[in-house]
Amino acid sequence: MEDFRELLLAAAKENRSVQVYAGGQTIPMLVTGVGLEYLEGKSREFSKILVRMDKIDAVAKT
């Protein structure tokens, strides 16, 4: 889980997008915040996306 957090924090700092894989779904987003329980982001379609950290299966940084 810490590896995910480090990658997500780096993406937020660099203003880079990521692909989050959770529950068989792929969620493209720009990371806006990384909390203890939730990942917060946004996309072209949605102004706010929240994903529970314990539900994330994988993360890919572009």
Report the number of distinct structural domains present in the chain: 1
pLDDT of res. 19: 97
Give the CATH number, domain containing residue 25: 2.30.30.100
For 26-48, how does the pLDDT look when each residue is reduced to its tens digit (9 = 90+)? 999 999 999 999 999 999 999 99
What pTM was estimated for this model as a whole?
0.87
Domain of residue 38, residue span = 2-61
Q: Quick one: which H or E segment has residue 12?
A: helix 2-14
